[in-house]
Structure 1
């Protein structure tokens, strides 16, 4: 794998070096840690300021057969290309990963939001909603947030002004409480009207909690959720 990184660096030009720092096997997954210079910066060295590159950590989380990879990084194209080259070496042929997309229909989200509002979901608490264009005069962006539940506030707003939940396309995000942690759900339009990709902020959940949350959303609500971590499939 070190040879793959060295070949990649040579093609990218001088100055930036990719270092293989570790490979961890966890269950059926192989997690690769790479440290690489990302962007030019001024760096202190021996009490002098020199020109260099600010480093970033690239984490490539491959499943056992390398057909899927989760990528955690600041940059986009370079980590994906590194993952492509590792997979190409593994399979012995040229490989490229495609961004993974799983569609959820607006009606499914309407059902979920209705259940959250009526507090019918024991595993999730409805703790925040962000609406892009509210029903208020001026259609300003609006956020309702609470430590434990926004259900009463959302119901009151619906009775006094207009429902915040009827137009999924106007909902930028919601937050739910899961295992005592606040998790953001984003509804990204995908292709035709009424289709969405649901992504969740994974930084508050550990690895086991992420898999548990994904499995729960699929099993209980029929909604595939993808982390905001970049996720690709071969």
Structure 2
């Protein structure tokens, strides 16, 4: 009877694990905004750190063109919403999530059917002690295999997600820099989003749609 209780516990755990892929799917779009924000912000801090003025020496020659001291802005919410690459990468990952969810649904239904049959036979008293032990061991092994396979799939999806975020962030930084060099020569480019720390930004310094127009040229 302890073995039956143990299997019931495993089945309850399985119901919780079954929700993982669904939760992951819901988070992908939100994480594009959050992680892209973090990646670009870190890059800006990196640039600021290495562009601080340093003591003049006879061995250092500054051949660059001085910036204007102005600040430009890029709205990451708008980029996330309207950048076609974000849509493509999001749809690709969500499609894979749906595919893997269907696969594991079938595996878990098959496992549940086997468990139900085992429980039915056990309650009917038609199993020997050896058959009970063998069936319990097989069910436990199958369940652990499902969990391991699910974790492998989730790790793969997380890796694809991280790669997509880097791809998006790199492309935004590259185009924003080009726009600045060609037109503004501002000293800094910051990103902002709704609900962020910036209370107000001069609309004349917002280059979001200029950046977005260039980004989307490749996807028309």
Between Structure 1 and Structure 2, the one with more strand by share is: 1
Q: Same fold (TM over 0.5)?
A: no
Q: Structure 1 length normalisation: TM-score?
A: 0.19
Structure 1 or 2, whichever has the larger Rg, is 2
Q: Structure 2 length normalisation: TM-score?
A: 0.20
- Structure with the bigger RCO (C-alpha within 8 Å, sep 6+) is 2
Between Structure 1 and Structure 2, the one with more helix by share is: 2
